[in-house]
Amino acid sequence: MKPDYSKYDYLVEEATYPDNSYHEFIVSLVDDLGPVRYLEVGAYKGSTLFYVLESNPMIKACVVDDFQISTHEELIDNIEKFGFLDRVNVLLGTDRGWLEYAMDKFKPDFVHLDADHSTEGLLFELNTVTQAESVPSVILVHDWIDPCVQAAVQDFARKNRNWQFTVNEDIFNGAAVFREKSK
Ligand SMILES: C[S@@+](CC[C@H](N)C(=O)[O-])C[C@H]1O[C@@H](n2cnc3c(N)ncnc32)[C@H](O)[C@@H]1O
């Protein structure tokens, strides 16, 4: 039976996604991997996070957010409201402060980057994630539409030939998906 995602519709609207295409795309990628350990950098109020958790009860998540445009309490309240307290770890702070720690301790199979959209910031994230001892199977970068994001993705790919990316422009704002060549 397909999970019921309709309870998250209002969060999708609040996050100004025009539709659920982005969430459904992520869930399809996660589904291909099975019960993943999911790390989202930039979770905001949790709309995408809840889609992923709802899709498979075996999934565990960790999120990093410095809450510049929402609050830590809002996300925790939402996590509690939807019954996911025991499946999510929230790290309050920046990618610079937490990403290396999250990679080291949580060892995610799937990383979703949707925080710092500057070229330099995203390059820091991609380098940190791929230099971890245990690298993820999939790294998804949101907002391909943003020239700073495209520059970071292309620069990283040029310098790291073992990581290949594909682009999906059919979903909201587009996304790049990195996979290591041998995987
Ligand atoms: C576009 S929103 C994320 C939307 C979310 N992924 C979703 O699907 O609803 C970006 C989030 O990243 C956070 N953020 C931006 N730069 C960050 C950084 N350098 N470190 C941690 N969080 C950051 C912002 O506070 C914001 O909550």
Residue (of 128, 145, 129, 144) closest to 179 by Cα position? 129
Q: By residue range, what is the domain housing residue 163? A: 6-180
Give every residue of the chain whose pLDDT is below 50, as ranges: none
Ligand 1 atom nearest 45 alpha carbon: 9
Q: Is any ligand 1 atom within 6 A of the Cβ of residue 69?
A: yes
Q: What pLDDT digit, counting tens, does each position of 27-76 carry? A: 999 999 988 999 999 999 999 999 999 999 999 999 999 999 999 999 99
Of 12, 68, 101, 145, which is best to mutate to test ligand 1, by the most ligand atoms within 8 angstroms of its C-beta? 68
pLDDT for res 101: 98
Sheet holding 163-168, edge to edge: 88-92, 60-65, 37-41, 110-113, 138-142, 175-180, 163-168
- Residue 1, in any domain of the structure: no
- Residue 102, in any domain of the structure: yes
Of 66, 99, 118, 129, which is best to mutate to test ligand 1, by the most ligand atoms within 8 angstroms of its C-beta? 66
- Residue 157, in any domain of the structure: yes
Tokens 């950098």 correspond to: 41
Residue 103 makes CB contacts below 8 A (sequence gap 6+) with: 39, 128, 129, 132, 133, 134
Residue 89 forms beta bridges with which residues?
Answer: 62
- Residue 111, in any domain of the structure: yes
Pairing of strands 175-180, 138-142: antiparallel
Enclosing H/E stretch for 101: helix 95-106
Total structural domains within the chain: 1
- Residue 22, in any domain of the structure: yes
- Residue 42, in any domain of the structure: yes
- Residue 23, in any domain of the structure: yes
pLDDT for res 1: 74
pLDDT for res 183: 55
- Residue 10, in any domain of the structure: yes
Classify residue 32 as exposed, middle or buried by CB count within 10 Å of its CB (0-12, 13-18, 19+).
Answer: exposed
Q: CATH number of the domain that 134 lies in?
A: 3.40.50.150
